[in-house]
Amino acid sequence: MLSFILVRPQLGENIGAAARIMKNFGFRNLRLVAPRDGWPNPAADAMAAGGKDVLKNATLYPSLEAASADLSLLFATTARRRDMVKPVRTPQQLGAQLRSDYPNTALPPTGILFGPERTGLENQEVALADAIVTLKVNPDYPSLNLAQTVAILAYELSDYTLEARATSTERPPPPLAPKEQISALCKHLEQALDQANFWSVAEKKTPMLNNLVNMFTRAGWSQQEVRTMRGIIRALTEQQPGSDPADTAE
């Protein structure tokens, strides 16, 4: 069970946007420590869109100690360097560590801490965490928006809520055309170019044909796509109005 804990968040808009992205990545447990503008907050509702149920189920705590009392693991997101002996992880490293430490068992109750917009977490709050999570950012402008930070952590940790994350292709690609069909396409084109007197300089024909073979080999076309190309060559060569190339060029 993984909870996102917003510590003294200031803007309702950020709380709402955080709830939305949590829902997008399948997280449901939002904890709020002393939100500045009270709770509930209409500005949060407006930004939550389809994540309103995450907001509705959010739990309110007076202090970080109270919000983390039942948790076994705590990670503190922070952009600033802290004068503290504490492991530091990128979001990716945190995900990898959790997968490696808990490969076949449920994650123990775990919280990810996010500090207030202007100031970030206090040092004494960071001290409560098992490790610091930080992002490599532009030194000229390291100040990340709160909800954007939540987005990146939710994205990186979504393994814990969503199944296998990689989708390889949306539709299995059709098999590549066999080489003999690429050869036939090149032969077909060569004949068409012969008829069109394309080879103005005879010695150039062979190297140019090699280039064409290379182009069509690298193109990665399917059988149907090769048939389409041949239909095109036939249409351009024959130029007969009324001929029906539909059977070769669907």
Kind and range of the H or E run holding 154: helix 146-156
Measured from the CB atom, the residue of 1 and 152 that comes closer to a copy of itself is: 152
Binding mask 162-191 for a copy of itself (x = CB under 8 A): xxxxxxxxxx-xx--------------x--
CB of 105 to a copy of itself, least distance (A): 19
In the bound state with a copy of itself, the residue whose beta carbon lies nearer, of 38 and 164, is: 164
The verdict on whether omega for the bond into residue 142 sits within 30 degrees of 0, i.e. cis, is no
Among 31, 33, 221, 230, the residue binding a copy of itself under the rule CB under 8 A is 221
The smaller minimum CB distance to a copy of itself, of residues 51 and 116, is found at: 51
Write out the binding residues for a copy of itself, residues 57-116 only, by CB under 8 A: 81-88, 90-91, 93
Q: Which is nearer to a copy of itself, 63 or 119 (CB)?
A: 119
Pick the closer one to a copy of itself by CB: 63 or 174: 174
> How far is residue 238 CA from its own chain's centroid?
48
Stretch that binds a copy of itself, among 2-10, 17-25, 37-45, 180-188 (CB under 8 A): 17-25
Of 10, 29, 97, 222, which one interacts with a copy of itself (CB under 8 A)? 222
Show Cβ contacts of residue 57 under 8 Å, excluding neighbours closer than 6 positions.
28, 29, 30
Helix or strand (DSSP H, E) at 3:
strand 2-7
C-alpha to C-alpha distance for 225 and 222, rounded to whole angstroms = 5
Q: Which residues of 159-168 are buried (b: 16+ CB within 10 A; e: fewer)?
A: ebeeeeeeee
Quote the CA–CA distance of 249 and 32 in Å, as a whole number.
60
The one-letter amino acid at 192:
A
> Which of 104, 124, 195, 203: binder of a copy of itself (CB under 8 A)?
195
